[in-house]
Amino acid sequence: MAPHRYPMISMPEAIDIVLSRAAPLEEESLPFPDAVGRVLASEVTAPRPHPPFPASIMDGYAVRSADVPGTLRVVGAARAGAPLGPSADGSETHTGAGRAVYITTGAPVPPGFDAVVPVERVSFPKGEGSDAVAVADAFVPGANVRSVGSDIQRGEVLLHAGDRVGPHELGIAALAGVSEARTRRAPMVAVLSTGDELADPYARMYKPNGHTDAPATIDPAAAASSSDRLDVSAGSIFDANRHMLLACAREAGARVMDLGIVRDDPDALAGAVAKAMDAGADVVVASGGVSEGDKDHLKDVLLGSFGLIAGVVHFGRVMMKPGKPLTFAEIHRVPRTDSENRSEDRDESTRLDEKKTKQKPVLAFGLPGNPVSAAVTFALVVAPAVRRMLGWVDPRPRRLQAVLAQDIALDKERPEYHRATLDWEANDSSANLPLARSTGRQISSRLTSMRGAEALLELPRGPGFVAKGTVVSALVIRDIGTQGGLQMPRVRPKVVRPGNARDRVLAAADAGVAKKALRDDEDDAKKFAPRPKAIAVVTHPFVPAKSLSDLARESDVPDSDRAVTDEGNDDAAAILEATRRFLQRAGVSTDGDENNAWRVFEARAENGTSRRLALAARAAAETASIVLIAPSGPSAVSSQAAVVAGTDLGFPGLAPRMRAPLEKKYDQSAKYDDDEERSEAEDAAALAAIA
């Protein structure tokens, strides 16, 4: 037997051939809003920083951090869109000592001010509406202020070449003030159906659009009777493929050209393809006419046997089910004859378009006439070609793994691309693969097997079957989840809380990375010693029960674990027990083996004044890796316990009212140089405590 004219190739080989011939189209500039759905041809960088000025992140008062705590005079207001103007009397500046400016969220922080105090953190000693505000807490420079470029820096790469522009990418460009996008031109895809038996189901409802991408014109009279049953003559069927493939091309990002239904005549078919090329088509897709029958002329038309066009057929059969007759060719327009030029009224723009089409080949796809075969082959080869022309880095369908929901029999002759939906089962597996369910009978004429299909299962040829529960490869052909289905239960993730979890501060201390720095004043040398595995709880008088309850509540300790109740308990033993239970909930052992357990002990201050509390905390740090400072009354720390990972790291966890005096007392006793370097581990522990 003579070899077949078109040897059978595999689908992976067919995809490789198509993508080797498809190339990104030329670049063009578009207004960014018009580039949604396109792929960027070049990176987008920020022409300016954002925010372009120091901006307040809340309503409050702009202050100089050196002036607080204290009482300040309000000298003006800065609002979003209306920054602070010049001084009213012109005799003084706004930024002198002891001044404040009312400010709203997003407003520029006036020059000379470096922090914003939230409005709820100030009081009005002379009454609201007066020009005086009192700030009881200390605020560091930059508090509640977004610095220039903190979100986007000048020159920062915002979007990369190859990124697809969606709503969020458009928002990023708008935020940075980028007006234009360099993208690849969207390809024009011309679609036709061939077959004497075909009838257009929508012919009565709209007028033809002249083979352009413009919307069709609705015929009101026909639309009014659209609910009537459409009939076709004996031996005819409705053309589903063309309308389906036009929609598929639009969904892939292409512009489309509707070539209509072409009868089974090779000259008519060649004329339709040539007309599409003259109109600037980049891709021609024909369904039908690619099998072995006496009316299947497409391959010969693409080869140039009937004039007007000529080309090379790269493959004409693929080892797959469905879609075996799939054909791919590259074609070009042959020079027009004098009779063609005289028979058509051709303007200058048409001649220019023809000249352009002669310079580049057009990709031509012959898809099988069975509707399922047409849909599957479009998804596997045509859509990737369109995406490659748009500039996608990897235009192939996304492959994932799925678990079969039922047994599936294999085809004995060809690998199958089995239509399936994807869903998930609610179980405790952390590797929860989607569940693939067949869409039913897989014959190529049954288009309802594509209903809801989200993936094509890659199944080998038989004999035999693939059993339920088997993991298979699946090619995603539409957005997953658009068809509804099972909603997975919401999962409450395990939270690692900074300052109280073993995985961060305690693990750092356990590894000996948080070390106490000792300074020899004579030789200015650094000496380090590992910290003991101990936690000191600094207690002091005047501890209200409400503060201790708030500590337990905000630390996520259940009511049953609270050693301190709302009725009040100032017993040090109860505070220590609450600490132990809290640590046990974090997975930290407080008893057992001496080498692995953490020791919890009390370090009691004389009272809640800043001086004595600082001394007690510093003394506790000599024999503990972590210091917990219990809350005191309203005149001291007012919210919750503060975690301090070693006093050499400062007191970052304390409420602002206590932080400044404690740091001052510590600095007086430590005598460290300002430029002393800290290890990465100590910095990490400090950040954990601050967070």
**What stretch of H or E contains 276?**
helix 266-278
Q: How high is the mean pLDDT of the chain?
A: 78
In which residue are the tokens 């640590």 written?
583
Return the minimum-mean-pLDDT range out of 46-50, 113-117, 507-511. Answer: 507-511
C-alpha–C-alpha distance, residues 48 and 178, integer Å:
10
Q: What is the mean predicted confidence (pLDDT) over 322-345?
A: 80
CATH for the stretch 399-476: 2.40.340.10
Max CA separation in the chain (angstroms):
110
H-assigned helices in 464-609: 507-510, 545-554, 572-585
pLDDT digits (tens, 9 = 90+) for 182-206: 999 999 999 999 999 999 998 877 6
Q: What is the pLDDT of residue 84?
A: 86
Residues 6+ apart with CB under 8 A from 380: 11, 14, 15, 323, 397, 417, 456, 475
Domain range summary for the chain, segments of one domain joined by +: 9-21+186-219+235-338+349-390, 27-49+151-184, 55-146, 399-476, 502-690
**If we measure between CA atoms, which residue out of 398, 328, 368 comes closest to residue 22?**
328
Q: How confident is residue 181, by pLDDT bands cut at 50, 70 and 90? A: very high
Q: What is the mean predicted confidence (pLDDT) over 648-665?
A: 42
Q: Is the pLDDT of residue 602 over 60?
A: yes
User: What is the second-level CATH architecture of the domain 55-146?
Assistant: Beta Complex (2.170)
C-alpha–C-alpha distance, residues 403 and 459, integer Å:
13
Whole-number percent of the chain with pLDDT over 90 = 53
Q: What is the pLDDT of residue 488?
A: 66
pLDDT digits (tens, 9 = 90+) for 349-379: 445 445 544 468 999 999 999 999 999 999 9
- Residue 205 DSSP label: T
Q: Is the pLDDT of residue 539 over 80?
A: no
Q: How confident is residue 456, by pLDDT bands cut at 50, 70 and 90? A: very high
Q: How far is CA 216 from CA 208, 219, 456, 467, 682, in A?
A: 6, 9, 33, 48, 69
Proportion of the chain in helix, strand, coil states, percent, rounded to 5: 25, 25, 50
Q: What is the pLDDT of residue 690?
A: 33
Q: Which CATH number fits domain 9-21+186-219+235-338+349-390: 2.60.40.1180, 3.40.980.10, 3.40.50.300, 3.40.190.10?
A: 3.40.980.10
pLDDT digits (tens, 9 = 90+) for 31-44: 999 999 999 999 99
C-alpha–C-alpha distance, residues 24 and 20, integer Å:
11
Q: Is the pLDDT of residue 10 over 80?
A: yes
User: What residue type is assigned to position 107 of the chain?
Assistant: A
Q: How confident is residue 498, by pLDDT bands cut at 50, 70 and 90? A: low
Residue 314 phi/psi, 5° resolution? -80, -35
Q: How confident is residue 383, by pLDDT bands cut at 50, 70 and 90? A: very high
Highest mean pLDDT among 229-243, 291-305, 673-687: 291-305
Homologous superfamily (CATH) of 27-49+151-184 is Molybdopterin biosynthesis moea protein, domain 2 (3.90.105.10)
Q: What is the pLDDT of residue 453?
A: 94
In contact, 508 and 681? CB cutoff 8 Å: yes
> Is the overall model pTM greater than 0.85, yes or no?
no
- Bridge partners, residue 312, by sequence: 330
And the tokens for 110? Answer: 């006036």
The phi-psi region of residue 77 (left if phi > 0; otherwise alpha if psi is between -120 and 50; otherwise beta) is beta
